[in-house]
Amino acid sequence: MSLVQSVDHVALLPAYLAGGTAVLVLLADLLVARAAVTVAVAAAGSAATALGAALVGAGDERRSFCVGADCSWVFGGRAALVAALLALLTLGVLAISGPLLRAGRTPPGEYCFLLACALTGGVVLGAAGDLITLIVALETLTLPLYVLVGLRRGSLAGAEAAVTFFVVSVVATTLTLLGAALLYAVTGVLHLDRLGATLAGRADLLDLPLTTVAVALVVAGLAFKVAAVPFHAWAPATYDGAPLPVAAYLSTASKLGGVVALLAVVQRALPATVTGPVLALLAVLTMTVGNLVALRQRRTVRLLAWSSVAQAGYIIAPLGALALAGGRTADARAGAYAAAVAYAVFFVLLELAAFAAVVALRPADGDGGTLDDLRGAARRHPFVGAAFALALIGLAGLPPGLAGLFAKVTVVRALLAGHAGWLALVVAVNAVLGLAYYLRLAATLYAAPDGPVPVRPARLVVLALGVATVLAVVVGFAPQLVLDVAIR
Amino acid sequence: MTWGQFLLVAVLALPALGAVAAALVPGERAGRLVGTVAAGLTLLAALPLVGGEHGWFGYGPRPAVQPWHQLDLPWAPDLNLRFHLGVDGISWPLVVLTALLTLLCCGYTLWRVPTGGGSGRALVALLLVVEVGILGTFLALDLVLFFLFFEVVLLPMYAVIAGWGGDDRRRAARKFALYTLFGSVLLLVGVYVVVAAAGTADLVSLTGGAGLSRGTQLAAFTLLALAFAVKSPLWPLHSWLPDAHTQAPTVGSVILAGVLLKMGTYGLIRVAVGVAPEGARWAAPVLGVLAVAAILVGGLVCLAQDELKRLIAYSSVGHMGFVLLGVATLTATGLQAALIGNIAHGVITGLLFFLAGAVKDRTHTGALAELSGLRETAPRLAGLLGFAAVASLGLPGLAGFWGEAFAVVAAVRRGGGLWTTLAVLAALGGALAAAYLLRLLRRVTHGRPGPAVAGVAPGLAGAELTAWAPLVLLALAVGLVPALVLSYASGPVGALVEVVTR
């Protein structure tokens, strides 16, 4: 075996582009020192990353950093989807950051640099082929966010939120690392596919208590990242204290990262007999608790935060079908993974639109405020309000928010194909709970307006909202587009 | 694309485009006018759907559903979703009824916008969206598509109640939305139970059981029947209905009672019974008992009601009980009774809600205690109310008679102790209907005019007459010539009964 590995630089192109964006942003901030240029560089870099990921992903799967048949870098359809989606989300978050950056309490150079760093982590995450790369990539995605949450100068809430997030997240990473170490101790391998083959091939390993503990630790650590109940308590406090665009990033890009990591280990590495029941339980708890608590929220961002906890439950739900033997056939498994990815794609689109609408309707540099602050907003700004209502209804999973409806349909279909009818019923009943609060928020938008003078939505924010809405409508009428990329 | 396919698309596209146009056209009145024109064109497109091949002859095995026209396009293969529309004798009368009632409601809105804050053209746009959903539900020949359209109705109707309704509209609207969503999520699960087992969502090939195992059929029928029971509504899942009907604006109540409830009974016949016949046979006694309970409970509750709209709303529970009893017998007579009962209830209750709205608009109260002597001050309105009430109680010669009488006949013919008892109890329920409707007439039209009624002007507006006349005529026509509905339905119903009892 040669000691010098040949590196496939084409496969690494998206990561280079994302990393290069971070460096360029830093340089632009240093040399030009104008906020507009910095943001433009970050936006251009994100767009280039998305394009690069799409181009590389259009071809065959590319592998690099291989030891024998096991590779640490596998850039296939899923990796391309994740990279492109994260890059586009970064672009969207940059677009809705205008009011925050103009308010002057947040340094634009650092802000854009940190976002680009997080993007780099996300791009690597999708292509990670072994446990260490996966965990490091996930940490690279999360680490900049600790700072971003507390970046606003003089914001006590932001600092509190950042510390909460930091502590919880570090504990979660430690758990995952410990789990990975124990898995290595049991099997002696770290590559995801090899790990899956080893655990599947040797039944005696599965009987070891150590294996079960290791698997549970990995899954629990990753469940923190997606804010699944009972590892969710950090999310509402963090979202509410963070600046709105960062909260949007947390609930879309960061959550997507967690889902991708969870999906990678569940699909490729860990035995379904152990993860299935755990994930089914997590999904049921996450959906139900998230929805029930969201019913009582009076603050907009907290409501969206709890609702995104519940949505994480819907994303995990198809994986819960692995709990039963009927859900572990090859077809059912492929369907379940595709359904989770498809739901995540539909969800981040609608969630980004919802947050963009909140940013548009709230004063610059303001927080999300209470529901009452949005009273009558749709009568003052008919189009922004309608887009917001459409996003909320989509999150609830009803027409005319067809994207959300098809997301729920995909999940229910995968569950029933996997003979997990009971879990499908839980999802269905939770959809009713969800409608109760989404409807309350949407109805508030159309209530008779009173109180403060309306703010004028920033143009770029409205543009981002418009693009997200149009995309949501398009995939709502052509869900097959999303389903096709999700299954790759 | 054939002429029939063009019509099928037009029936859905016209109201959808009309809704967009009504919302975007500058000018309040222009918007309402555009919407009404779209509703009129929809009716014009729905009527000629009856033309075409009705072929019910030939040898050998034939599908239980033979659409007159159909359109089948792929949409999302990974979800087993096809854009498959079709119309036959079971759905066509309902399609026409929907188009007619929507047109009447839009026309009525042209004349009077209910108070409550919202603009009239937004109301018209929402009514048209509701129409798209209802028509789509009746036309869908793909289970998943059926579910999609079933869901489309929910939020626009919520907005109609919440935006233009009575004093307690928010609570009523929320209750409506959450209850009926509960029904439709069960429908979603039921649909995919069937699709996962059969591998297809095509209603034409699924009708008759399509080789589904007994367990699957029982599970599917339970889920589907529950879903439709919420929508119909079947006692004891009816409690959203009185609030929604009472609080909704007049046009909302008309659409709700006239055609929205029919989505439930239509779904029960076409989807639940058609796809899971074994489950239907298994659950028929339970369904029959619940239906008769609905008839009796509805009648008794109506006897104790002292609010005009609430009484009419509760009477729907009883009338839909007859329809469900007809379906539960699983005989050709029963299903025919259910179909004609559907149409009759849509026409008569639509008319009753229009009249109740007119009474409330004039007197500003719906309390029976404050209404009396309407005959003295507004004889024409009182006369129409009398006509509608008598039609509703099932007087022979008017539309209400056929559905209720033949539901009872079907139950008797079904034979056996249970069904005979049910028939007797249902007949008693019919007598209850006569009692509460006559009580309603005595309280409202007879007696001395109270202070609320004294100032009512005797005349009727032209718009009111225009909106009501078609319903009055239809109630007469369907009553005198039930073949208007039954002749189209007999072929498909016969084929359905054949596969169900096979």
Partners of residue A446 in chain B, C-beta under 8 Å: 163
- Reported in sequence order, the residue ranges of A22-108 that DSSP labels E, i.e. its strands, are 62-67, 70-75
Partners of residue A338 in chain B, C-beta under 8 Å: 78
- Phi, psi (degrees; rounded to nearest 5) at B363: -100, -15
HSE of B304, CA atoms in CB hemisphere, 13 A: 5
Partners of residue B157 in chain A, C-beta under 8 Å: none
Q: Considering only alpha carbons, which residue of chain B is nearest residue A440?
A: B174
Q: Considering only alpha carbons, which residue of chain B is nearest residue A484?
A: B78
Residue to substitute from B24, B79, B131, B175, interface A, most A β-carbons within 10 A = B79
Q: What's the ipTM?
A: 0.91
Q: Does A408 touch chain B (CB under 8 A)?
A: yes
Nearest beta carbon to residue A416 from set B78, B163, B196 = B196
Q: What is the pLDDT of residue B59?
A: 47
Residue to substitute from B185, B194, B200, B223, interface A, most A β-carbons within 10 A = B185
Residue to substitute from A324, A429, A432, interface B, most B β-carbons within 10 A = A432
- Phi, psi (degrees; rounded to nearest 5) at B59: -115, 170
Residue to substitute from B12, B78, B212, interface A, most A β-carbons within 10 A = B78
CA atoms of A253 and A268, how far apart (whole Å): 22
Residue A238 lies in a domain: no
A434: number of Cβ within 10 Å: 27
Residue A380 near residue A448, CB atoms below 8 Å: no
Residue A186 lies in a domain: no
Weakly modelled stretches of chain A, pLDDT under 70:
1-4, 451-454
Q: What is the pLDDT of residue B117?
A: 67
Q: Does B199 touch chain A (CB under 8 A)?
A: no
> CA-CA distances (angstroms) from residue B393 to A168, A478, B357, B402, B430?
67, 48, 20, 11, 7
Q: Considering only alpha carbons, which residue of chain A is nearest residue B174?
A: A436
Are the Cβ atoms of B174 and A479 closer than 8 angstroms?
no
What is the residue-level pLDDT of chain B in tens, covering all 502 positions? 888 899 999 999 999 999 999 988 888 888 889 999 999 999 999 988 887 766 554 444 567 788 888 888 999 888 889 999 999 888 999 999 999 999 999 988 888 888 766 788 889 999 999 999 999 999 999 999 999 999 999 999 999 998 888 888 888 999 999 999 999 999 999 999 999 888 888 888 888 766 788 888 999 999 999 999 998 888 888 888 888 888 889 899 999 988 899 999 999 999 998 899 888 989 999 999 999 999 999 889 988 888 888 888 888 888 999 999 999 999 989 999 999 999 999 999 999 999 998 888 888 888 888 888 888 888 888 889 899 998 988 888 888 888 888 999 999 998 888 999 999 999 999 888 889 988 888 888 887 877 777 777 777 888 888 888 999 999 999 889 888 888 888 888 888 888 887 7
Q: Does A400 touch chain B (CB under 8 A)?
A: yes
Partners of residue A429 in chain B, C-beta under 8 Å: 182, 185
Q: Minimal Cα–Cα distance from A42 to chain B, Å?
A: 36
Residue ranges of B 440-499 with Cβ closer than 8 A to chain A: none
Q: Does A100 touch chain B (CB under 8 A)?
A: no
Q: Considering only alpha carbons, which residue of chain B is nearest residue A423?
A: B189
Strand-pair partners of B71: B85
Q: Helices B3-24 and B120-139, interaxial angle, to 10°?
A: 160
Q: What is the pLDDT of residue A376?
A: 84
Partners of residue A382 in chain B, C-beta under 8 Å: none
Give the pairing type, strands A62-67 and A70-75.
antiparallel
Name every residue whose Cβ is closer than 8 Å to that of residue B196 and which is 6 or more positions away in sequence: A413, A416, A417
Are the Cβ atoms of B181 and A409 closer than 8 angstroms?
no
Are the Cβ atoms of A416 and B76 closer than 8 angstroms?
no
CA atoms of A125 and A140, how far apart (whole Å): 9
Are the Cβ atoms of B192 and A416 closer than 8 angstroms?
yes
Total domains in the fold of chain A: 1
The string over B51-85, giving b where at least 16 C-beta atoms fall within 10 Å of a residue's C-beta and e elsewhere, is eeeeeeeeeeeeebbbbbbbbeeebbebbbbbbbb
Residue with tokens 């009474």: B359
Nearest beta carbon to residue B174 from set A417, A439, A478 = A439
Residue to substitute from A375, A390, A416, interface B, most B β-carbons within 10 A = A416
Q: Does A406 touch chain B (CB under 8 A)?
A: yes
Q: Minimal Cα–Cα distance from A51 to chain B, Å?
A: 26
Q: Minimal Cα–Cα distance from B183 to chain A, Å?
A: 9
Rounded to the nearest 5 degrees, what angle is found at the Cα of B272, between the Cα atoms of B267 and B276?
160
Nearest beta carbon to residue B78 from set A399, A405, A480 = A480
Q: Using a CB cutoff of 8 Å and minimum separation of 24, what contacts does A377-383 make? A: A377/A445, A377/A449, A377/A454, A378/A445, A378/A446, A379/A446, A379/A448, A379/A449, A380/A449, A380/A454, A381/A454, A381/A457, A383/A462
Residue A96 near residue A247, CB atoms below 8 Å: no
Nearest beta carbon to residue A406 from set B77, B79, B178 = B79
Rounded to the nearest 5 degrees, what angle is found at the Cα of A51, between the Cα atoms of A77 and A140?
70
A308: number of Cβ within 10 Å: 29
A457: left (phi over 0), alpha (psi -120 to 50) or beta: beta
Q: Minimal Cα–Cα distance from A300 to chain B, Å?
A: 20
Grouping H, G, I as helix, E, B as strand and the rest as coil, residue A458 is coil
Q: Minimal Cα–Cα distance from B18 to chain A, Å?
A: 16
Residue A233 lies in a domain: no
Q: Minimal Cα–Cα distance from A305 to chain B, Å?
A: 22
CA atoms of B16 and B306, how far apart (whole Å): 39
Q: Helices B462-480 and B399-414, interaxial angle, to 10°?
A: 30
- Identify whether B470 is preceded by a cis peptide bond (ω within 30 of 0): no
Element (H, E) at B25: none
CA atoms of B233 and B226, how far apart (whole Å): 10
Q: Does B181 touch chain A (CB under 8 A)?
A: yes
Q: What is the pLDDT of residue A452?
A: 63
Q: What is the pLDDT of residue B58?
A: 45
Are the Cβ atoms of B174 and A425 closer than 8 angstroms?
no
Copy the structure tokens of residue A91.
Answer: 């672009």
Nearest beta carbon to residue B188 from set A402, A428, A446 = A428
Residue type, A9: H
CA atoms of B89 and B493, how far apart (whole Å): 8
Range of the domain at A291: 271-488
Are the Cβ atoms of A400 and B152 closer than 8 angstroms?
yes
Q: What is the pLDDT of residue B62?
A: 61
CA atoms of B34 and B20, how far apart (whole Å): 10
Q: Does B170 touch chain A (CB under 8 A)?
A: yes
> CA-CA distances (angstroms) from residue A271 to A219, A290, B61, B269, B363?
12, 28, 49, 45, 72
Element (H, E) at B74: strand B69-76
Strand-pair partners of A70: A67
Encode A169-215 in three state secondary structure.
HHHHHHHHHHHHHHHHHHHCCCEHHHHHHHHHHCHHHHHCHHHHHHH
CA atoms of A80 and A70, how far apart (whole Å): 19
Residue A382 lies in a domain: yes
Q: Minimal Cα–Cα distance from A68 to chain B, Å?
A: 36
Residue ranges of B 403-432 with Cβ closer than 8 A to chain A: none
Residue A313 lies in a domain: yes
Residue A372 lies in a domain: yes
Are the Cβ atoms of A483 and B148 closer than 8 angstroms?
no
Q: Helices A272-294 and A421-445, interaxial angle, to 10°?
A: 30
Residue to substitute from A314, A413, A474, interface B, most B β-carbons within 10 A = A413
Residue type, A117: C
pTM for this one? 0.92
Partners of residue A436 in chain B, C-beta under 8 Å: 174, 178
- Identify whether B482 is preceded by a cis peptide bond (ω within 30 of 0): no
Are the Cβ atoms of B188 and A435 closer than 8 angstroms?
no
Name every residue whose Cβ is closer than 8 Å to that of residue A171 and which is 6 or more positions away in sequence: A224
Partners of residue A432 in chain B, C-beta under 8 Å: 178, 181-182, 185
Q: Using a CB cutoff of 8 Å and minimum separation of 24, what contacts does B196-201 make? A: B196/A413, B196/A416, B196/A417, B199/B80, B200/B80, B201/B80, B201/B81, B201/B82, B201/B142, B201/B143, B201/B144, B201/B145
Are the Cβ atoms of B192 and A425 closer than 8 angstroms?
no
Q: What is the pLDDT of residue A85?
A: 94
Residue to substitute from B171, B184, B192, B200, interface A, most A β-carbons within 10 A = B192
